[in-house]
Structure 1
Amino acid sequence: MRAVAVHDAELSVVERPVPEPGRGQVLVKVLRAGICGSDLHVRHDADGSADIAAEVGYPDFMRRSDEVVLGHEFTGVIVAYGPGCRARVPVGRHVVTLPLIRVDGKVHMIGLSTHAPGGFAEYVLTDEDALMPVPHGVDPDLAVLTEPLAVAHHAVRMGGARRSDPAVVVGCGPIGLAVILLLKAAGVRHIVASDFSESRRELAKRCGAHVVVDPASDSPWAHSGDGPGVIRSAPAYYGTGLEALHALRGVPLLPWRRVMRTAKRFGAGPRGPVVFECVGLPGVIEEIVSNTPFLSTVVVVGVCMRPDTFRPTMAINKELQLRFSFCYDPADFDETLRMIARGRIDARALISRVIGLSEVPAAFDDLAAARDAKILIDPSR
């Protein structure tokens, strides 16, 4: 079979034998695969990711010197089951899959390890337990977006944005655009998107952003909400407590402490926007911490591989919640697939084009130069 492998930052089309599924494994014919920002990153700096992975207990992440078939976003057709499988999903069914596989009792990351070749190929092995059937009638171009959209779904859930909360998305690359789509699906009524690229700002509008901002000439924080619950200065923040005490103590025999605590549990009182950092470059977290309103929730989705700093005292003074989002859980993945199937997410705006395996090296260069949003691979081309 034909596949695209990376070795020492060079991408090439290689010939590999069609893999044989082992115990608990499934052979899938790839219909579409997606090129992810993580693929662009590991092409040149796999060692940095491998060092971090080793620190958290996964020593088998690919290194620059390895030859690895990339691709952890893919959809395909079940061809065959290995021994020991339940085979509950029939052969010939379209599936997506969590990009994980057990090999000799160890879990490996598909497309990011020499032990688990990925979906930039005509065929790929996956774990039976990771399979999720694609509902009938779903276009493979959309089904393949389950994985990146699940990343966004997980981040949006982590942010806990209510429909009435303003949301600010900093960075409108593929993940930022996916976050906008999931915020829209969640019914958030005020989504601000910020990016220096005019084409990405236009895509942000198409994905559902209500306000798009070029940070070179405007500030996203000027559009992050103007209601009475949005606090932008320390005196205003302190004043909310005094005003609440004044109002509650004006009612005789009212248990003001209990009322205040109950109101807080139900979301009353000042509340900042939910902010999504989708850039992944040094300095962006500090910029957000310094400029977002008080009581904001900041969800870091962008992967910054270099050391970074921000001022904790600024975050403390504003009582910011800083959260870091990584991937998804199986329920996020399944919920995302169902939202795609039901039309709650229309992600076609993300797709720039569909290419064959021989065009992958040039596509990596185009994506690195931000000339495209999402490029899909059809190995049959």
Structure 2
Amino acid sequence: MKAVVCTEGELSVREVKTPEPGPGQVLIKVLRTGICGSDLHAKKDATEVNALLLESGYATAILPNQEVILGHELLGEVVSYGPKTRGRWAAGTTVTALPVLQTEVGMHMTGFDSHAAGGYAEYTLVEEALTFPVPDGVSHDKAAFTEPLTVARHAVRRSRIGKKRPAVVIGCGPIGLAVILMLKAAGVTKVIASDLSPGRRKLASQCGADVVVDPKVQSPWDTLTLKSPVNSTPELLAFALEMTKAVRRIPMLSIEKIFFGADRLGQTPSGPVVFECAGVPGIIDHVIANAPLRTLVTVVGMCTEVDRFRPAVALSKEIDLRFVFGYDPAEFSQTLGMIASGKVDPSPLHTATVGLDGVAQAFNDLSDPERHAKILIDPFQ
């Protein structure tokens, strides 16, 4: 079969052996594979990616001198089954799958490991237990977005944002745009998006952002209109003072019951939920410095460099920091259902499709935010 092989920071189309499904595995013919920002990182600096994964307890990550087939945003059709499978779907069934493969040497992240070839190829392997059939009528191009949209779905779920709490999305690359889609699908009434790129700001509007700003011209924080007193520490202290005065006017009321009860019901003052999707040094510190008090910052963007922020500022403003990565099978299944039902439409993110021969150029093209958001690969194009 043909595949795009990454080694020593170079991509080349080669003839390689078609994989054979092992225990619990399914061989699929690849219909689409998305090019992810993490793929760009892996090509550019496999050593750095390897070091990061090793610190997470992953023992067999990509190395520059290895020959690795990238691609973890998978869509394909069933070809054959390995041993110890149930043969759940007929040959030709369109499926998508979590990019995880188990072999005799352990668990592997598909597309980041020489033991688990990814979807930049005509055929690849998936785990039957982590595979989901695509409902009838869903186009290949839309179904191929299941994996990256699930990343966004996981981020939104982990943030526990309520419908009335405003969201601020910093960075409108593919993941930021996916987060906007998922926020609107969750019913969040006000989503503010910020990006330096005019092209990405346009896509943010198409994905449903209610307010889109160029941070060079307008601060996203200036677009917030918060009812609760979280714009400054004196304002919050004044609110606490007035609340205490009001409670003490009624002798039978307990300060503890009022304040703690409001906290349990989620009625205490809070700032917005920020989704940091830029993944560049300095952004977290910028958010902490500028966001209102009691803001929840959900870090989605993957910054691979050493970064710094001032804990004392975060402490004084009671900023919550939450880091998210990946998703679980239930979220994956749910996201596929949301795409199938039309509740989420990833079409604005899809800016091009290339064959295997066009992958190397696609990596170069993705460096220009004005031209592309997400490029899909059709190995048989």
TM-score (norm 1): 0.98
Greater Cα shift, 171-180 or 48-57 = 48-57
Q: Deviations over 1:286-322 (max 9, x none)?
A: 0000000000000000111111000001001110110
Counterpart in the other structure of 2:322: 323
The whole-number CA distance in structure 2 between the counterparts of 1:253 and 1:310 is 45
The whole-number CA distance in structure 1 between the counterparts of 2:49 and 2:119 is 20
Q: Deviations over 1:42-78 (max 9, x none)?
A: 1011111111211221121101221111100011101
The whole-number CA distance in structure 1 between the counterparts of 2:63 and 2:237 is 51
Residue pair 1:13, 1:358 contacting (<8 A) in 2 also: yes
Residue pair 1:164, 1:190 contacting (<8 A) in 2 also: yes
Where does 1:292-303 land on structure 2 (aligned, <5 Å)? 292-303=291-302
Counterpart in the other structure of 1:6: 6
Counterpart in the other structure of 1:202: 202
What letter corresponds to residue 258 of structure 1 in structure 2? K
The whole-number CA distance in structure 2 between the counterparts of 1:66 and 1:214 is 41
What letter corresponds to residue 200 of structure 1 in structure 2? R
Counterpart in the other structure of 2:240: 241
Residue pair 2:60, 2:108 contacting (<8 A) in 1 also: yes
Q: Deviations over 1:296-351 (max 9, x none)?
A: 00000011111100000100111011000101111111111111011110110000
Counterpart in the other structure of 2:39: 39
Counterpart in the other structure of 1:306: 305
The whole-number CA distance in structure 2 between the counterparts of 1:327 and 1:243 is 44
The whole-number CA distance in structure 2 between the counterparts of 1:362 and 1:56 is 32
How far has the Cα of 1:253 moved from its partner?
0.8
Q: Deviations over 1:79-127 (max 9, x none)?
A: 1000111122332211110000111151111111000110011100111
Q: Which runs of 5+ in 2 are unaligned?
A: none
How far has the Cα of 1:275 moved from its partner?
0.1
The whole-number CA distance in structure 2 between the counterparts of 1:13 and 1:169 is 37
Counterpart in the other structure of 1:261: 260
What letter corresponds to residue 143 of structure 2 in structure 1? A
The whole-number CA distance in structure 2 between the counterparts of 1:28 and 1:45 is 29
Identity, % of aligned positions: 49
Q: Is 1:168–2:168 an aligned residue pair?
A: yes
What letter corresponds to residue 56 of structure 1 in structure 2? S
Alignment size in residue pairs: 380
Q: Secondary structure at the residue paired with 2:90?
A: coil
Where does 1:113-132 land on structure 2 (aligned, <5 Å)? 113-132=113-132
Residue pair 1:40, 1:368 contacting (<8 A) in 2 also: no
The whole-number CA distance in structure 1 between the counterparts of 2:26 and 2:280 is 38
How far has the Cα of 1:273 moved from its partner?
0.3
How far has the Cα of 1:6 moved from its partner?
0.8
Q: Secondary structure at the residue paired with 2:135?
A: coil
The whole-number CA distance in structure 2 between the counterparts of 1:199 and 1:23 is 46
Counterpart in the other structure of 2:341: 342
Counterpart in the other structure of 2:74: 74
Counterpart in the other structure of 1:251: 250
Residue pair 1:230, 1:293 contacting (<8 A) in 2 also: no
The whole-number CA distance in structure 1 between the counterparts of 2:169 and 2:227 is 22
Q: Secondary structure at the residue paired with 2:142?
A: helix
Residue pair 1:6, 1:12 contacting (<8 A) in 2 also: yes
The whole-number CA distance in structure 2 between the counterparts of 1:151 and 1:88 is 26
The whole-number CA distance in structure 1 between the counterparts of 2:239 and 2:180 is 31
The whole-number CA distance in structure 2 between the counterparts of 1:294 and 1:333 is 33
Q: Secondary structure at the residue paired with 1:308?
A: coil
- 1:153–1:197 distance in 2 versus 1, CA, 3 Å: same
Q: Please, what is the CA RMSD of the aligned residues?
A: 1.0
TM-score (norm 2): 0.98
Counterpart in the other structure of 2:151: 151
Counterpart in the other structure of 1:177: 177
Counterpart in the other structure of 1:232: 231
Q: Secondary structure at the residue paired with 1:80?
A: strand
The whole-number CA distance in structure 2 between the counterparts of 1:198 and 1:147 is 26
The whole-number CA distance in structure 1 between the counterparts of 2:18 and 2:94 is 19
The whole-number CA distance in structure 2 between the counterparts of 1:288 and 1:32 is 36
The whole-number CA distance in structure 2 between the counterparts of 1:239 and 1:78 is 63
How far has the Cα of 1:261 moved from its partner?
1.1
How far has the Cα of 1:230 moved from its partner?
4.8
